[in-house]
Each structure stands twice: as structure tokens, then as C-alpha cells.
Structure 1
Amino acid sequence: MTNPVTEPDAPIARELATGKFTDDMLESMRALIGTNLRTAASINNEYATRTAILRFCEGIGDDNPLWTDTDYAEATPHGRLIAPPSFIFACLAGIQVGWPGLGGFHCETTIDFHAPIGVGDRIDCRCEFQGFDGPIEQSQFGGRRIKDYILQQYTNQDGALVADFICSRMRFERGEMQKRAETRTITVPHPWTDEEVAAIEAEVLKEAPRGATPRYWEDVAIGDEIDVITKGPLGLTDFIAFIAGGAAPIPRVAAHSVSLRRYHKHPKWAFRDPRTHALEPVYSVHYNDYAAGLQGAQIAYDVGIQRTSWQIHSLTNWMGDTGRLKRITGQYRSHVYLSDVVRLGARVDGKEIDAAGDAVLRLTTWAQNQRGQNVMPGTAIIALPRRGPA
């Protein structure tokens, strides 16, 4: 029996939907607070297979052998291949809920990591809409806006909690964002010289994880900075590789009849590109310049959790196989555009034995672009091994 394509509930426009905040919308969203959200359309990997972990690592540019080399990983204290902490995004990156017709940016991330994900683990995710702040009547960025919160809890096949992820998004009226686009105008793509590109690529090729040599808590001093890693100049394949690695989008990208039926059922999930006449998902702002412009950006830009994955890459490279990332936070400020370069680093601002008895470092993290902007200020807590008896 065939599944005919029906007419969409509303026409699919050649632009992204331009909804407005209304009292009814705000009341309907308040009524959703505490709701457990459906996740089926957004799950990418239920199992942490060797291939799934490898694909994700390739998508974020992290070739640490602890997650990519089975023989190496089995000889470490972990005893098996494990996934980078950011692999939770490859299981389920996030959920969209409500706010019909409004634009949205992932603006802030807070994650507490409780247990590693090892090869063969099965990961489940529970998502809860926790509410929102606002609306703030005016903001420099895009006029009237709100900030909402979704809690995502990841558990493994034994019911053990792997991570808590609070995903905060800013919601705004696209028309207002578009009006302010000129105030954010910069030169893109960035006009790199051949010499500059060669120097950047040399930086990238020097990166290496600390690996099996322990970094001991006693050997780290307040004020120490971690090794910087470099991402860029960012190309379209870098953005597509992140999707191919299973870390996005929300809901999943699909093609042909599968996507067409979805868009007819949910017309505001898509727009018609006037150049190709094809329907594209709202998520294509991350690889389609036309869509990015409708969102008030100049050209395609990165994904928030992609930036966080780079942050985690910098931290795990530095801490070594015996370190443990316990917590990260990050705020996404300014777009990271195609052609940009981002350098990620951190400084140790505190040392203590925490309530769990772990010897931890508290770090301030950053992600600096070539324009001198910190596009992701954040924090991290890392537990390190101690020398001799604790």
C-alpha cells in the first residue's frame, strides 16, 4: 500500500517562518513545563559501536587513540575503547519543542559527566522541558527574546547515569533579527593569505593528546594554561562531517520522500530554496548560506554543540588517559562562520579536593576567533590522579 503525499497543512514558503511572540504562545509553553518530550525522531545512535564512535570523532577532528584505536584503549586503565565525553551528542543532540515560527539559537550548555561511555554500551536519553525566562522586551542581538531550558539525561544499559545536559536556547522573532543584520556585518569569508593558512595548518598538525603519561594533580599550578588546539579555516566539509558523525540535527536530516512527507506534516520545519527549488530543513542554516541569511546571519555557521565538542577535545587532549572531565559550561557568543579559525584553550583557576573526594582543577575556558572575540567563554572541572596515597 502506498503512502501518498498530502497537501501541507500550510504553504511552505521560500523563507523561514516569521512567527511572533503572543500571549497564547507563552501560555501554551508554560503549560508544557515539566513535560517529558518524545525523542524517537532525534536519536542518532542507540549503541556506542566502534564505528559510531569513530565516525563521531572524525566529525569533530579528534583522533585520540583512546577512542579510535582498540588495541591502545584495551591497554589503558579503562580496559576497552571508550568514547569522548561529547559522544552523548551523537546519541541525541537535542530536541526542539514549541515556539512555532520563531528563530532559535543554542546559547548555553551545562553538562555534568558521571560515567564514561564504552564501546558496546546502549545509551538512552530522557528529555524534559524545564521552562523559560522572559520574554525580555528588547535586546541588542535580536529584539524581543526568551531563553528556554531542556534537561537531557543519558543512561546506559545498566541504568547508570552517564551525563546531565541542560540545553538553553534563545528564541527570537526572525523579522527583528533580520532588521539588525547590518549591525553585525563583518568580512566573510575571511580573506586569509596563503602564508596565514600555512601557519594555521602547521598549528593544527602539531596537536597531540597527552595519552598514557599521567598528569598528576600535584604537578599543576593555579595559573597554568592548557595546550591550545586550533580548528579551521572552517570549510563546508567540516560542518557536514559533524552531521555525518551523527551529532545533529533536530530532528534528523532525511531525503526525498521521507523528508517530503515530514515537511508536509510540519511545514514550518522547512523552506523552499529559490535557487534550487528544493525543500530544505531549518537546520540547513549550518550549511546553506541562503538559509543562514534568513536567520539574520551572513553565511553558514557552526552548531553550538559542535563548538562544545571542540572544547572537550582541548580538555581531554591535555588531561590524558587517566584524567576525568566532570563538568563543563559554555556560552555561545557570535557566529562561527565558514572560513573562521577558532583556538580553544583554558587556564587553571582553582585546585581542591571536592565533596566526592576527587582531586579536581577548576578551569576557565575560551574559544578565540581570528577577530579577537571569545566566541565561547566557559568553565570546566577536571579530576586528575594523585601521586602516591591520597
Structure 2
Amino acid sequence: MAADGSNRFPKITEEGLAHLRERMGVKIENTVEPWNFEANRDNIRHYAHGIGDDNPLWCDPAYAAKTKFGKVVALPSFLFSTSRIVSGYCGGLPGVHAMWAGADWTWYKPVLAGTEFTTVAYLKDLVEHNTRFAGRSFQQIYHVDFFNQTGDKLAECDSWVFRTDRDEARERGTKYTEARGRVEPFKDEQLKEWAKLYDNEEIRGAKTRYWEDVKEGEELPRMLKGPMTVTGFICYAQGWGGLYIRANKLAHKLQVKHPSAGIKNRFNVLDCPERVHWDEAFALEVGAPGAYDYGPERCSWLTHQLTNWIGDEGFLRKSKCQIRRHNPDGDVIFIDGVVTRKYVEDGKHLLEISQKAITHRDELSASGVAIVELPSRG
């Protein structure tokens, strides 16, 4: 324990880094079971609702039955729930904090209810950085391939976490010096004005958007997420599934098997590191500005804006998202997108879309670049 009563945490060591580098390129065997082995009506809806997405293509079987798919479709980001690796549960450096920081997705086929999943994953790279958040940190990049029950490749993804020294982030990190524990009550007028974005949110759905009707420079409707609440973070965990969120005997068994997965709380009881997303005091201990959202959650918000806009006939081909800062309890996020390129490739009518997520204080929260395919009138 530190002098102020906070925990002292394991450090990044050269020995630990050497062991981690030995794993690069090696297929990961016996991975922890995913939250979802298959897609069905309920878990697709739970994931969608966890990010505030009520698109009937994912959530309403009667609606989905009338589309070309004939059944409920899983939203693209649902695949986060089918692999612990892509969601940031990394190996090596036990007890060292891991912050999910981005993903580079490619999707090949839509995922329908009834799909069963297998994945193949390996550690792709380990890159050293010097950060304002915690000084010396390491970007740990994984590659995951996703297959259905007949062996068809559905998608692939590179995702990464930053391994950071918790004590360094708390004691000497400068990124959130002015933001830690900050509380800024909103005025009712502000909240009412922002809520208009929810009231006016359009799900394109069955109203086909054609490639010919889109122009370079066209802006997507602004999307609102927030104001952030711990309740919202827990809603995402319900749909996505937290590896360390376990109760009673199952929590005990996990902590016996993986001692670094238990960190003592104020009652001297081992609790999971994932509680940075709902435990304000613990989030401050690791250098965060407060209890904050999940990284894959924010990536899912960006793809939510895209699927709303492209409609049932469009297909999200690629999306690269980079997380720039924590979104703590109390933040409001605005997502903007613009069409930056319009082109045809291999017979596909494609659009490149750049996205930015900013806070109500005009701080960059996340950025993304996506490729979507739209139907052509031709």
C-alpha cells in the first residue's frame, strides 16, 4: 500500500517484456471462453441496447423477416462479444494495467442469427511509446480472425491495448491532472437541447441509400452519446460481457487461478480490475479521470452512426477506430462523420468516411476511418 492508503501495483519489467515477445506470431490456444459462442435474437438485442442502438434489423424479428436477410442480423460490433482477445483481454505482464485503445476491422459477410463462431488469434506486435498518461507504455497488438460454423471467414481485426504503470499514471501522469474527479453539473436547458439529437436520430432502414446519390463532402447526421453515466457503462457490459465480472464462487475461482485479476477494495476484499468502469475511487487510483466507458463500446458507437446512415442495403466493409482519451462519468460525446472519398473497386460501390467523436468541452475522444458499400442504381 502507498502512504495515502492506495494500492501499489506490479511494474512493467524487461523480463516480462521478453516473455511477451516470445509469444509474437504464435497461435493462442485455450483462450478464455467468449461471452457469446453464437448469435441469437436475445444476445444480438442485448448488445445493441448496450450501445443505445434500437435498429429493428438487429432488434425486431418481425421487421428483419421482411428484409433480404429473412432474420435478425447482428450489428457489426457484436463480434466484440465473441472474442476476449479482440476485446482487450491480453496476456503477459500480470498485474500491469491494460487500456483498450483501438481496432482495425474488416468485415466480409453479414452475421445472421444462428451463426456459431470460432476465432483464431495471435499477438502481432509490441510497440513502445512515451505517453503523458503514464510515461513509458507498450502498445500490445493482437490479430483475430472470425469464422462461422461452415468455415467461412466473417471478419478479421487488429486490436490493441496500452500496458501502463498504474502507480506512474496516478503519481506522475499529466494527461488528466485537471480532470480527475471533476464534477460539472449541467443546466436543464443544455440537456434539453442535446436530447433533440436523440429525438431526431434517423435509422435509414428500408429506405435505400444509393451510391449515386451521395457526394464527397457530405456530412452524416451528428450522433449523441451520453451524458456518460455508470449505468450506461454497466449496460454495455451486460451486452458485451466482462471477463472479470464474476460473482461469489466464480470470482474466487478466477482469483485463485489468476492472482493478478484480484485487487483489494476498501474492505480488504479482492475485486476485479474491471471496476475502473464503475468504481470512481479505484479509477482515480490507476490515473484515470474517473469511472469511464469501455473502449470497444466507443468503437461500437462509431459503427452505430455508420449503420444508421447506410441502411439495410448497405454494408460496412472496414472501420478503424483510435481511442484518444477516457470518457469519464459526466462526459457528453458528439460523433460527426463526413464522406471523404467516393470510388468503385472490384465492382463494389464504396465510400470512405472520416469520423470524429468529441466531448462537450471540444476534446477529441476518438477518431475513425470507415469504408462502406452502398447499392448502385446501375
Normalised TM-score (structure 2): 0.93
Counterpart for residue 268 of structure 1: 260
Matched length: 369
CA apart distance, 1:319: 0.6
Residue identity matched to 1:139: T
Answer yes or no: is 1:254 the counterpart of 2:250.
Answer: no
Cα contact 1:232–1:341 (8 A) shared by 2: yes
Larger strand percent: 2
From 36, 41, 44, give the equivalent of 1:50.
41
Shift of 1:234: 1.5
Show the counterpart of 2:64.
Answer: 73
2:319 counterpart residue number: 328
Whether 2:107 is the aligned partner of 1:107: answer: no
Secondary structure in structure 2 of the residue aligned to 1:377? strand
CA distance in 2, matches of 1:314, 1:120: 25
Paired AA for residue 218 in structure 1: E
Report how far residue 40 of structure 1 moved: 4.6
- Deviation at 1:303? 0.8
SS of structure 2 residue aligned to 1:353: strand
Aligned-pair CA distance for 1:38: 4.2
Q: Is 1:343 the equivalent of 2:331?
A: no
Structure 1 segments of 4 or more deviating over 4 A? 14-17
Find the counterpart in structure 2 of residue 10 from structure 1.
none
Residue 71 of structure 1, CA deviation: 1.5
Instruction: Report the Cα distance in structure 1 between the residues aligned to 2:7 and 2:340, rounded to whole angstroms.
Output: 43
Displacement of 1:139 in angstroms is 2.8
* Greater RCO (Cα-Cα under 8 Å, separation 6 or more): 1
Within 5 Å, which residues of 2 pair with 1:83-122?
A: 83-93=74-84, 94=87, 95-122=89-116
Distance 1:183 1:239, change over 3 A: closer
Deviation at 1:141, TM superposition (A): 2.5
Q: Residue 166 of structure 2: which of 159, 174, 189 is its match? A: 174
Once the two structures are superposed, residues 286-323 of structure 1 have per-residue CA deviations (whole angstroms, 9 ceiling, x without a partner) of 11112211210121001110001111110000111101
Q: 1:195 to 1:349 in 2, by over 3 A?
A: same
Q: Tell me the secondary structure at the aligned position of residue 376 of structure 1.
A: strand
**2:106 & 2:377 partners in 1: Cα distance?**
26
Aligned to 1:220: 214
The CA deviation at 1:248 is 3.4
Matching of residue 376 in structure 1 with residue 366 in structure 2: yes
| Partner SS for 2:111 | coil
Shift of 1:379: 0.2
TM-score (norm 1): 0.90
CA RMSD, 1 decimal: 1.7
Q: Which of 350, 353, 358 is the matching residue for 2:344?
A: 353
Q: Give the AA of the match of 2:119.
A: C
Cα offsets for 1:137-166 (capped at 9, x unmatched): x43221111111111111111111111111
- Of stretches 57-66 and 27-36 in structure 1, the one that deviates more from structure 2 is 27-36
CA distance in 2, matches of 1:133, 1:338: 30
2:355 corresponds in structure 1 to 365
- Alignment of 1:306 onto 2:300: no
Shift in Å at residue 15 of structure 1? 5.4
In 1, Cα distance between equivalents of 2:8 and 2:191: 38
The answer for unaligned runs of 5 or more in structure 1 is: 1-13
Q: Corresponding residue for 1:7?
A: none
Question: Any stretches of 5+ residues in structure 2 without a counterpart?
Answer: none
Given residue 265 of structure 2, which amino acid in structure 1 is its aligned partner?
Answer: D
Q: State how far apart, in whole Å, the 1-side matches of 2:208 and 2:7 are.
A: 50
Distance 2:269 2:196 in 1: 39
